[in-house]
Chains A and B, each alone.
Chain A
């Protein structure tokens, strides 16, 4: 259903004040049908591909996309890839398998550790961290964190948290060069996984299904050329709370729908909230929805328990993230428009004759 199809009768409380929480509710059955029909049209009709490949991370987003792809194309036209690396949580692999079994799809295990080692992913990252924390050793666990949106340090600078093999924990603010080195190294994980997805898609004449939800897609929580790359993105219009509604409706195992979203990118467990969003997804959903519909901060505050000032802080942060996301989503820029590439036209048709 997304943002533009909220029925006028839903979302009104007895006081005649709009009920913003109700505005995020969807009709899961109708929405699942609509998305499945769109996947079918995109994959078979537009892309002319036989099925879809997707990475199964064991999280709710990829599980939901798997369920929707099965509804759209049938289980025999959906391939799930399990792509752990040496720092992945064991739970991710197990849950990925559980989802595949639940929806009856074939899976391929592609451990990407050796590829990441060859690309220097771990070594480049660890070298950068050791410049900031000289006691850091390969094998020590780490993660990137930043203060929550409602915490007082509103410049919200990234810090590295490391846990040595003796269990001692240290935290340090990252200088810009080291921050960029850590991020650039870990982005290799998403890019290598995407490379494997396209390998299997080419092998099978399939399309690649991306799994971002609306918060990730709109607010730039993805790696360009990594998890941001796909042929179809069937749940990019759904707020995270809508993802959960649909996932529960389609029978995604409750072990998945009940666990908090994690990045599974750093050896220390890191929630998406502490790594990027700075706010629980439910509150962020409402703030983004309010922003998209011009709903005033006072009403958002009333619904969320945040102060009006805090809502303004969140809205300021959303503006910054939307700006970053807009740049990430841009297609490559060319000097002149290439007139012969026009989406939605047949490439078999004759070029129009030039009029002299």
Chain B
């Protein structure tokens, strides 16, 4: 989980915060709501997750509960890669 989280966080920082880490970007910070991601940003994130973790994201999985925060994405990727629910 830790590795997934750090990989996602590094991608977000590099691509959407232009390499400047934001201390307010906690695991639970809403990325779309707080302006870090727009709809194109979500597209980029989905494409990155599919390529980096070798998973396919179905349209029906494009939910706030899976992509709204770093924490949500970490749990989603973890579930998809291990098939185990981490709650």
Partner-B contacts on A (CB < 8 A): 146, 152-159, 173-176, 179-180, 316, 319-320, 323-324
Contact = CB atoms under 8 A, between A and B. Distances in A.
Contacts of A320: 32-33, 35, 38-39
A174 B39 contact: no
A152 B35 contact: no
B78 to A, nearest CB: 18
Given A319-B33, A320-B35, A153 B59 contact: yes
A319 B35 CA distance: 9
27 contacts: A152-B60, A152-B63, A153-B62, A154-B63, A155-B39, A155-B42, A155-B62, A155-B63, A155-B64, A155-B67, A156-B62, A157-B42, A157-B46, A157-B59, A159-B59, A173-B46, A173-B59, A175-B43, A175-B47, A176-B40, A176-B47, A179-B40, A179-B43, A319-B33, A320-B33, A320-B35, A324-B38
Most chain-A CB neighbours within 10 Å: which of B33, B38, B62?
A: B62
Most chain-B CB neighbours within 10 Å: which of A159, A173, A180, A323?
A: A173
B33 A316 contact: yes
B44 interface: yes
Contact of B62 (A157, A175, A319, A323): A157
Contacts of B38: 320, 324
Contacts of B35: 320, 323
Contacts of B40: 176, 179-180
Contacts of A146: 39
Contact of B60 (A153, A175, A176, A179): A153
Nearest to A153: B62
Q: How big is chain B's contact interface, by range? A: 10 to 19
- The B interface, classified by DSSP as helix, strand, loop or mixed, is helix
Contact of A176 (B33, B44, B63, B67): B44
Given A176-B44, A316-B33, A319-B33, A156 B59 contact: no
Interface string B35-70: 100111011101100000000000110111001000
A44 to B, nearest CB: 40
Given A319-B33, A323-B35, A157 B43 contact: yes
Contacts of A324: 38
A278 B43 CA distance: 17
Contact of A174 (B33, B43, B60, B64): B43
Contacts of B60: 152-153
Contacts of A158: 39, 43
Given A320-B38, A323-B35, A153 B43 contact: no
Most chain-A CB neighbours within 10 Å: which of B35, B43, B63, B64?
A: B43
Most chain-B CB neighbours within 10 Å: which of A156, A158, A176?
A: A176
B8 to A, nearest CB: 15
Nearest to A173: B59
B11 to A, nearest CB: 13
Nearest to A323: B35
Contacts of B44: 176
B86 to A, nearest CB: 21
A316 B30 CA distance: 11
Contacts of A173: 43, 46, 59
A42 B57 CA distance: 52
Given A146-B39, A154-B63, A156-B62, 4 more contacts: A157-B42, A157-B43, A176-B43, A320-B35
Nearest to B33: A316
B39 to A, nearest CB: 6
A284 B6 CA distance: 38
Most chain-B CB neighbours within 10 Å: which of A146, A153, A155, A159?
A: A155
A158 B42 CA distance: 10
Nearest to B41: A176
A159 B43 CA distance: 10
A319 B62 CA distance: 20
Contacts of B43: 157-158, 173-176, 179
